Structure formats: C-alpha cells, structure tokens
Amino acid sequence: DVRLHTSFDILDRPPPNKMSTTGTALAASIVSAMAAWKLVRGKAKTAKEDELVYFDLAGRGEYVRLAGIIGNVSFKDKRLTRDEFIRKKKSGEFNFSQVPVFLTDGKMIAQSTAILRFVGKRGGLYPKNRVEAAEVDGFLDLIEEAWSCLDNTKYPTRFGFPDWDSKTRLGFRKNINDVIIPRKMAYLEAALKESKAPYLTGRISVADIKLWCFVKMVSGAAPLYTAIDGIDTSVIRSNFPRVQMLVDTIDALPEVRKYYGKD
C-alpha cells in the first residue's frame, strides 16, 4: 500500500530537464501502480468473507446485523439450528461456548457488544475520539444493565440462580417493569433531551442501535421479538417519548426499511 501511494508521488514532483526521462519514469510509475492495485484487489477478492454466527432469531444478534446494514458493513449472516449449535458447542468450536461470535481475519470475536463495537468502528458508528467513544460505551453499558435483568429471568440457571417457578419469575419481572426499565430509560430520556437530536450523542452510533433492539424486545415488536410475560409492552412508548422517537427515527431509515421489507 505504501509503494502504491509512493509510485504516484512523481506526479507532484518538478519536471526534470529531459522530457524523455520524465515520460519514461512516469510511464513506469503508472505501470507499477496499476500492478500494485491489481494485486491489492486480487487479495481482497480471495479473502474469506467475515461471518456472524448466531441463531435464526433476533436476540443478541440483531443489533450486530442492524449495525452492518446501517454502516454498510458486509458480512455473512450464518444462522444456526439448535442442533448445529449443540454439536459445535460440544466440539469446543465457540469462544466461551456461546454465540454470537464473529469470524474475521482468522480470529473469532465473542460477546455481542464487543462484536457490535467492532462492526460499528468499521461502519462509522463508533466514535474515533476517545472521550466520545467512552460516552457511547457508557450508554451501551446502561442498556446492557437493563437487558441483563431480563435475561436473568429468562435463563436464571446461566447466571447461577435456580430455575424459578412462574410465580417467582413474574414477581421479578414486575420489579423490572415497574422500577428497573423506567429508571434506565429515564437516564436515556434525559440524555436525548440534552443532545437535542434524535440520537444519544447527536449522531447515530452503536448505542442507539442497541437501544433500538432493547425497545423492540420490551415492546414485543413482531416479527423480531415476542411479548415477555410480565412486561408491559407499552412501558417505554407511553412514558419516554424521546426514546420512542429514536426508535421511530431508525425505523424510518431507508436502509432499515429495505432490510425489513417495508419498502
């Protein structure tokens, strides 16, 4: 790549005394540059395509998919059956024995929010400025706190809890619905008011995309998500207009409408 750029530097140099020398050097530079560019393009074409590996459902994979759509980041969307997942998990194929994972440059990236950041960086959805990036990270962590609370009630044994009966599970969800979700959304509502834009930090980022998915999940928005027992599907829409406006703004993006077959 360095040689490719250097070979064109001759175009900006003062011409030497002999025109014939200039013409010969220039022609050689152009030929060299074209050969280098063909080599780069050849490698790009033969490189293995990046791949997201998850189930054929929204869950923790949808915000990665959506970041790819909005950020124009191409990757293969591999959707596993449950039997495929169990077989691959038993063989030790997945980092941390779970999905989603993201395959790129011969490496496997685990943890959905880490994957989201990775795709976001490539798609211009994650700030380069370290302070702004930390701000986005803070929003991601806040959304994760609320999301994990619901996961604890869905999959309690994964988090070291007993497999609660329905009454206990619904009791926990009532507290999440009445206290946890409103508390977290109030913080985000205030941030949106301060940003004076539809997005948390003024321009769309991976934090907005993860929030979009969280709201869709809580709202039981079909066909991506189904309603969660004990959670009021209108809890966000009825109480946090700026958060809902963020969701509606992302819904209206042309690439999102096209991806979900609304155009």
Q: What is the mean pLDDT of residues 52-74?
A: 98
Percent of the chain with pLDDT over 70: 82
What's the pLDDT score for residue 15?
45
pLDDT band at 23 (very low <50, low <70, confident <90, very high): low
- Which residues are registered as beta bridge partners of 53? 78, 101
What is the model's pTM? 0.81
Q: Is residue 139 pLDDT above 90, yes or no? A: yes
Q: What token pair was written down for 88?
A: 């691959």
What's the pLDDT score for residue 24?
55
Cβ–Cβ under 8 Å, residues 29 and 5: no
pLDDT band at 166 (very low <50, low <70, confident <90, very high): very high
Cβ–Cβ under 8 Å, residues 64 and 102: yes
Calpha distance 143→207 (Å, rounded): 8
Nearest to 125 by CA among 115, 57, 78, 99: 115
Q: What is the mean pLDDT of residues 54-58?
A: 97
What's the pLDDT score for residue 10?
33
Cβ–Cβ under 8 Å, residues 10 and 33: no
What's the pLDDT score for residue 263?
77
Digit-coded pLDDT (tens) for 94-118: 999 999 999 999 999 999 999 999 9
What's the pLDDT score for residue 34?
45
Q: What is the mean pLDDT of residues 194-201?
A: 95
Q: What is the mean pLDDT of residues 176-194?
A: 98
What's the pLDDT score for residue 102?
98
Calpha distance 37→157 (Å, rounded): 54
Calpha distance 155→172 (Å, rounded): 13
Task: At 102, give phi and psi (nearest 5°).
Answer: -130, 125
With 0-12 CB in 10 A as exposed, 13-18 as middle and 19+ as buried, what is 233? Answer: middle
Calpha distance 263→255 (Å, rounded): 9
Nearest to 36 by CA among 4, 66, 60: 4
What's the pLDDT score for residue 50?
97
